[in-house]
Structures are given as structure tokens and as C-alpha cells.
């Protein structure tokens, strides 16, 4: 071919387009156009959906983590109450109960509340400035257990009730069981919501990818007609859409990670107000931890892979339809 071109050169002569004295051009453009409205919209969709999915994941993980911590904390405590049987409870009775409790293994701390402290516990209901001497106020003993303690609560209860009249032992078991049921319900609800958010993310990313791919049909057709193999075409689009998905995922995921990371410093800044402290007392830690951040990163990769796979399938469908 080349010799024929050199001898003939019919077009070049007639159109006065002479060889130009300029540097040779380079292959710089990607096969798949990078800048497109569909591509930018896809990045936005992926970013928003990744942000929502990451928030949901983080919330579910926080609930799960804190419910477990909180249950373990409550289970490490036993409350003993001595009700006055005839008049009022004397310090002697309390000391006797404390002595019995200390005789059991697996106990780290026994804290008897004084008459005044027991009265303070009633202040929210009875008001302050009330003389408690005239009232049959029960006395409370809080028993802290060692971590992993296997305290024989029925034996403790039996020993105490035999020696101390009007005594009751509460290991919070019934309350914990109810709270555990509520926590499990919240967890299941959270997982269902997370599943729905992830499904919505996959579907919306899938559709957004197909939308972005629609503008690329002419590119697929030309590549197909000049003899590009199907896997070459699919590979070009998969790489491009994997990058778009990662870009959107990183934006959304980073925003969610930043939000979770900022909660603790913000909480520290406003510490002292009743709101945050009550929130922390109720819900415990609001830090995601390594596993939480790992989950968000995994979501970014999965969502990018969804975009990439959707582009591959669209390329194959387009080629089949040509």
C-alpha cells in the first residue's frame, strides 16, 4: 500500500494539503470518552448511594456493638435491696448482708448505700428537703462482679434471705432479657433496612450505568465494525466504569467515614451539656472501629464492581443487538 500512496498521492496534491512540518501526533484520547454527562451523573448517583449505604451500615454496626457492650455491663452488676420489715433498716443489718455477699467468689466490689444516699435515690420522686427518718426507706447494696464471673446468684439469694429478713436480690436477668429482645428487634430491622439500601444502591447504580452506556453505543458499534474483539470492547468499558464507580464510591464513602470520625471530636467539644452525655449514657460509644471502616471500604469496592459488571453486560447486549 505504501509505495502506491507515495507514487500516486492524488488527494494531497489536489487539495493543497502539503505535509506539515509539525511534531507527530500521539495517541492520547481514551477509547471510551471520559467526559460525559452520563458519566458525571453516574459518579453522583454512586456517591450518594454509597454515602447512604455506609451510613446505614455504620448505624447497624453501632447498635450491634453497643447493645452487646451495654448488656455485658449490666450483667456484671447485682442489686440487693433490704426493705424495712419493722420500722427501718439498721446499719447492722446492712453490714451483715455485705459480709454474706463478700463470702462469695467472683465479686470485685460491694458498695452499700448509706441511709442518706438511699434517700437521694428517691429524690426524683419525692423531692428534696424531705426528712427520711420517718419513712421506711429501703437500703441498697450494689455488687460489682469480676469480668467473666460465674457468681451463683441463686445460692447468694438463698444465703441472704435465710439470714436477712426483707431482702431481695436482683441480677437484672428479666430486664436484660426484655432489653435483649428489643436490641435483637432493632438489629433485625437495621439489617433489613441495610439490605434494602444495598439493593437500591445496586439497582440504581446498574440503571445509571446503563444510562451512561447508552451514549456510548456509537463507540461500541465502530469498535465492533473495525474488528475489535468483544472482550476488548467490554474490557475498555469495564475499566472505565470501574474507575467511575470507584470515584463515586470513594466520594460517598469518604463523606460517611468523615462523618463518623467527626462525631467523637464534636461530642468532646460540646461535652458538659446534658444532651450528649445522656446520649452517650443511653447509646454508648459512637465510634465505628476498624471493622466498621473496613465494611464501608468493602461497600465502595462492591458498588464499583457493580458499575463495571453492568457496563460489561450492556456492551455484550449492544454487540448482540448490532
At its nearest, how many Å lie between another protein and the CB of residue 215? 11
Q: Of 9, 214, 262, 270, which one interacts with another protein (CB under 8 A)?
A: 9
Per-residue b or e along 298-316, where b marks 16 or more CB atoms closer than 10 Å to that residue's CB: ebbebbbbbbbbbbbebbb
CA-wise closest residue to 305 among 251, 261, 232, 246: 246
19 binds another protein (CB under 8 A): yes
Report residue 75 CA to chain centroid gap: 25
Please tell me whether residue 28 binds another protein under the rule CB under 8 A.
yes
DSSP state of 92: H
Residue 5 engages another protein in binding (rule: CB under 8 A):
yes
C-alpha cell at 14: 489536489
The minimum distance between CB 243 and another protein, in angstroms, equals 16
φ, ψ for residue 143, nearest 5 deg: -110, 120
| 214 belongs to the binding site for another protein (CB under 8 A) | no
Q: Which stretch binds another protein (CB under 8 A): 13-21, 132-140, 252-260, 271-279?
A: 13-21
Residue 2 touching another protein (CB under 8 A): yes
Q: Is 14 in the site for another protein (CB under 8 A)?
A: yes
Piece of 59-67, 94-102, 226-234, 299-307 that binds another protein (CB under 8 A): 226-234
Q: Does residue 15 belong to the site contacting another protein (CB under 8 A)?
A: yes
CB of 3 to another protein, least distance (A): 8
Residues 6+ apart with CB under 8 A from 88: 133, 136, 137
Q: In the beta sheet, which residues pair with residue 142?
A: 79, 111
Nearer to another protein by Cβ, of 7 and 131: the residue is 7
255 binds another protein (CB under 8 A): no
- Give the CA distances from residue 116 to residues 54, 135, 169, in Å, rounded to whole numbers and listed in that order: 49, 12, 21
Cβ closest to another protein, residue 13 vs residue 90: 13
Among 62, 78, 219, 300, binds another protein (CB under 8 A): 219
Report in angstroms the alpha-carbon separations of 49 from 34, 35, 202: 22, 21, 9
Among 77, 96, 230, 267, binds another protein (CB under 8 A): 230
* DSSP H or E stretch at residue 121: helix 115-126
Residue with cell 454509597: 50
40 forms part of the interface with another protein (CB under 8 A) = no
Residues in touch with another protein (CB under 8 A): 1-6, 8-12, 14-20, 22, 24-29, 31, 33, 35, 218-219, 221-223, 225-230, 232, 319, 322
Amino acid at each position: 500500500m505504501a509505495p502506491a500512496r507515495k507514487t500516486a498521492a492524488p488527494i494531497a496534491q489536489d487539495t493543497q494539503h502539503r505535509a506539515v512540518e509539525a511534531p507527530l501526533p500521539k495517541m492520547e484520547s481514551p477509547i471510551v470518552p471520559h467526559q460525559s454527562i452520563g458519566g458525571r451523573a453516574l459518579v453522583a448517583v454512586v456517591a450518594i448511594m454509597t454515602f447512604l449505604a455506609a451510613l446505614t451500615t455504620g448505624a447497624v454496626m453501632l447498635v450491634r456493638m453497643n447493645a452487646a457492650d451495654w448488656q455485658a455491663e449490666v450483667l456484671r452488676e447485682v442489686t440487693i435491696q433490704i426493705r424495712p420489715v419493722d420500722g427501718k433498716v439498721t446499719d447492722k443489718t446492712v453490714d451483715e448482708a455485705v459480709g454474706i455477699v463478700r463470702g462469695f467468689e467472683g465479686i470485685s466490689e460491694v458498695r452499700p448505700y448509706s441511709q442518706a444516699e438511699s434517700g437521694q435515690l428517691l429524690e426524683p420522686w419525692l423531692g428534696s428537703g424531705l426528712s427520711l427518718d420517718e419513712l421506711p426507706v429501703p437500703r441498697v447494696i450494689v455488687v460489682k462482679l469480676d469480668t467473666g464471673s460465674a457468681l451463683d446468684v441463686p445460692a447468694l439469694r438463698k444465703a441472704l434471705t435465710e439470714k436477712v429478713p426483707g431482702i431481695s436480690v436482683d441480677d437484672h436477668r428479666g430486664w436484660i432479657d426484655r432489653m435483649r429482645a428489643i436490641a435483637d428487634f432493632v438489629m433485625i430491622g437495621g439489617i433489613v433496612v441495610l439490605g434494602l439500601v444495598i439493593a437500591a444502591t445496586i439497582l440504581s447504580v446498574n440503571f445509571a450505568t446503563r444510562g451512561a452506556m447508552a451514549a456510548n453505543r456509537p463507540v461500541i458499534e465502530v469498535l465492533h465494525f473495525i474488528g475489535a474483539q468483544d472482550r476488548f470492547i467490554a474490557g475498555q468499558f469495564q475499566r472505565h466504569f470501574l474507575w467511575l464507580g470507584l470515584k463515586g464510591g470513594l466520594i460517598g464513602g469518604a463523606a460517611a467515614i468523615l462523618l463518623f470520625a467527626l462525631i467523637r471530636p464534636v461530642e468532646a467539644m460540646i461535652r458538659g451539656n446534658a444532651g450528649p452525655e445522656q446520649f452517650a449514657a443511653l447509646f454508648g460509644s459512637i465510634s465505628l472501629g476498624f471493622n466498621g471502616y473496613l465494611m464501608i471500604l468493602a461497600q465502595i469496592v462492591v458498588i464499583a464492581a457493580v458499575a463495571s459488571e453492568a457496563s460489561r453486560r450492556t456492551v455484550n447486549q449492544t454487540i448482540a443487538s448490532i
